[in-house]
Amino acid sequence: MVPDFLWKRIVLSLVAILASLAGPTPGARAAEPGTESAPWVLVDWKPIPENPVFAGTGRDTWDRKIRERGYILVDDGGTYHLWYTGYARNNPPAMSLGHATSRDGIRWDRDPRNPIFTETWVEDMCVLRRDGEYSMFAEGRGDIAHLLTSPDGLHWTERGSLDVRKANHSPISKGPFGTPTAWFQDNTYYLFYERGDRGVWLASSKDRKIWTNVRDEPILAMGPEPYDRTAVALNQIVRREGFYYGFYHANSERPWKDWTTCVARSRDLIHWEKYPGNPIIRNNCSSAILVGTPQGQDRLYTMHPDVKVFIPATAPNSAGTQHDGPQGAGAAASAGPGSAAGSRR
pLDDT in tens, 3-50: 554 444 444 444 444 444 344 456 544 455 555 689 999 999 999 999
Rounded-to-integer distance, Cα 258 and Cα 310, Å: 18
- Per residue in 267-301, pLDDT tens? 999 999 999 999 999 999 999 999 999 999 999 99
Q: What is the pLDDT of residue 248?
A: 98
Query: What is the average pLDDT across 62-77?
Result: 97
User: What's the half-sphere exposure (Cβ side, CA atoms, 13 Å) at 72?
Assistant: 31
pTM of the model: 0.85
Q: What mean pLDDT is predicted for residues 46-56?
A: 98
Q: Cα–Cα distance between 327 and 97 in angstroms, integer?
A: 21
Cβ neighbors of 290 (< 8 A, separation 6 or more) are 42, 236, 238, 247, 298, 299, 300, 301, 321, 324, 325
CA–CA gap between residue 97 and residue 194 (Å, rounded): 21
Query: What would the pLDDT profile of 166-196 be if each residue is shown by its tens digit?
Result: 999 999 999 999 999 999 999 999 999 999 9
User: Residues 137, 126: contact at Cβ < 8 Å?
Assistant: yes
Q: Going edge to edge, which strands form the sheet with 286-292?
A: 45-47, 308-312, 298-304, 286-292
Within a 10 A sphere around the Cβ of 2, how many other Cβ atoms? 8
CB distance 109 to 100 below 8 Å: yes
Question: What distances in angstroms separate CA 249 from CA 68, 222, 344, one per listed residue?
Answer: 10, 11, 11
What's the confidence (pLDDT) of residue 87?
A: 96
> DSSP alpha helices (H): ranges in 135-264?
none
Structural domains in the chain? 48-312 (2.115.10.20)
Q: pLDDT of 302-313, one tens digit each?
A: 999 999 999 999
Q: With 50 as the cut, is the pLDDT of residue 322 above it?
A: no
Specify the DSSP class assigned to residue 279.
-
pLDDT (0 to 100) of residue 327: 44
What is the per-residue pLDDT for 181? 98
Instruction: Give the Cα separation of 126 and 128 in Å (integer).
Output: 7
The predicted structure's pLDDT at residue 90: 85
Task: Give every strand in the sheet of 188-194, ordered side by side.
Answer: 163-165, 210-213, 200-205, 188-194, 178-185
Query: Which residues are within 8 A (CB) of 23 and not within 5 positions of it... i.e. 6 or more apart?
Result: 239, 242, 329
pLDDT at 113: 98
* pLDDT averaged over every residue in the chain: 87
Contact by Cβ (8 Å): 258, 39: no
226: which DSSP letter?
G
Q: Please give the distance of CA 89 from its chain centroid, rounded to a whole number.
A: 27
